[in-house]
Structure 1
Amino acid sequence: MSSREIAELTGKAHDNVLRDARTLVKQGVLKSEETPYTHPQNGQSYPEFLLSQRDTLVLVSGYNAQLRAKIIDRWQELEGRVVGQFQIPTTFAEALRVAADQAEQNLQLQKVVEQQAPKVAAIKRLAAAGGAICITDAAKHLQLSPSKLFDWLEQHRWIFRRKGSRRWIAYQPRITAGLMKHKVTGLKPDAETGAERAAFDVLVTPKGIARLAELLLEGV
């Protein structure tokens, strides 16, 4: 169960649920880890916890009885769905059919894993690459034209331009998530005022390249 769903069920602010979970993690009580999720509407990444049943109940143990009851009822509903989807075989023939179906599903899953293995390996290599690179070089790694990657990044709110400027700027959430960064280059002082000037170039980090590869692989 996600911390976002817990917040929704209990009526608590998600930030408060995150705070409680982080406190329990520091105490060594929770075993679940904090992971990012991408908002489907704005494409931005936010933190959340994906909690096992045990960790969920530990987290809400400090809440009042009514809130704990809502969480427990939700878990029972989810478990009921899983049980309802599986019909226990009552005859030997049905058991053989279930076993055959499972073997076929496993075979199909294995084929998918084998097909995706080279792409997954490529993503891992990109993530292990050293240093941030410009968007044009990132496009080469991702086997895209630079113009297409620039368009994608702008459309999905990774980069933008200020009005009247030709320079690209990375959105702060992408920088905070470690996906992009800015390279600052000093320029000659202004001829008239003598004011110091600097140029900002957008760079994609190895983590950003790996994330882009995953998104492009998913067809996002």
Structure 2
Amino acid sequence: MTNDTTPVRFGAMPLTMSSLEIAERTGKRHDHVMRDVRNMLVELYGEGGLPNFGDTHRNPQNGQDYPIFRLPQRECLILVSGYSVELRARIVDRWQELEAEARDPLRALADPAALRSLLLQNVEKVIALEAENAELKPAAAALDRIAEAHGTFCRSTAAKMLGIPPQTLCRWMRTNGWTFRRPGDKDDLAYQSKIQAGLLEHKVNTGPRPDGTEWTSTQVRVTPKGLTVLAKAFPPAAVAA
């Protein structure tokens, strides 16, 4: 996603002009420009070609994303071929400016409109980065909490590391397809899918009984990989709530 109304340039990639800038330069409503672009692209490339030119614009006032199109020079000039001579001239003049700015990026700083677009671009990028950072924080915190984890852990220890009561973890694992209990048994068992995924393991304990026989108990153990997944399911904010 890109957030600005200025052309996009990445290395040797061609310049593009957004439908927002076309609307601004021609004085047309953006929804009308979007309609014209859509009709043109369908005629040129069919419905399947639309995603190749689609993008989104983040409004810095409300933080909402809105669809836009970004057109290379060929498609842009085809679009405005149906507009008046005056409007076509504005777009052609703008393309000449874009090509000059591509050769000399500092040239844009002398144009108040271009400078305003650059400033808006930076503001919107900051907004987008802040939103991405907020989304990544729970995962980063979860990984930090198990960064030093080694070996496997019983569920009581895993629950302590997650900052939740052991019974909460055990109940969650039973209701979310991690463990189950056979009728008549007192021990939980891990689903084979979770063992194969490397999230859980079984530890079998044995010991002698007074009558000389041997008892056997199966314990579910949580691996570091499993703890990583559980830490994301129980972020600190959710635990505190």
TM-score normalised over the length of structure 1 = 0.52
Report the equivalent of 1:182. 202
Q: How many residues align?
A: 145
The alpha-carbon deviation at position 150 of structure 1 amounts to 1.1
Report the equivalent of 2:234. 216
Of 59, 68, 71, 1:86 maps to 68
Q: Is the 8 A contact 1:127 1:207 kept in 2?
A: no
Instruction: Give yes or no for the alignment of 1:132 onto 2:114.
Output: no
Report the equivalent of 1:205. 223
Q: Which has the larger radius of gyration?
A: 2
C-alpha RMSD of matched pairs (Å): 3.9
Distance 1:150 1:202 in 2: 10
User: Match for 1:214: what amino acid?
Assistant: K
Q: Give deviations 1:179-200, integer Å, cap 9, x for gaps.
A: 11011112327948x5x54211
Sequence identity percentage: 29
Closer, same or farther: CA 80–111 of 1 in aligned 2, 3 Å: closer
Q: Where does the alignment leave 5 or more consecutive residues of structure 1 unmatched?
A: 1-72
Closer, same or farther: CA 87–206 of 1 in aligned 2, 3 Å: same
The alpha-carbon deviation at position 79 of structure 1 amounts to 2.9
Q: Is the 8 A contact 1:187 1:197 kept in 2?
A: yes
Closer, same or farther: CA 76–175 of 1 in aligned 2, 3 Å: farther
Of 106, 117, 124, 1:104 maps to 124
Q: Where does the alignment leave 5 or more consecutive residues of structure 2 unmatched?
A: 1-45, 57-65, 72-90, 95-111
Q: Is the 8 A contact 1:190 1:197 kept in 2?
A: no
Report the equivalent of 1:169. 189
Instruction: Give yes or no for the alignment of 1:156 onto 2:138.
Output: no
The alpha-carbon deviation at position 133 of structure 1 amounts to 0.6
User: Match for 2:52: what amino acid?
Assistant: E
The alpha-carbon deviation at position 210 of structure 1 amounts to 0.8
SS in 1 for 2:55: helix
SS in 1 for 2:150: coil
User: Match for 2:150: what amino acid?
Assistant: G
SS in 2 for 1:178: coil
User: Match for 1:156: what amino acid?
Assistant: N
The alpha-carbon deviation at position 103 of structure 1 amounts to 2.2
Report the equivalent of 1:12. none
SS in 2 for 1:82: strand
SS in 1 for 2:130: helix
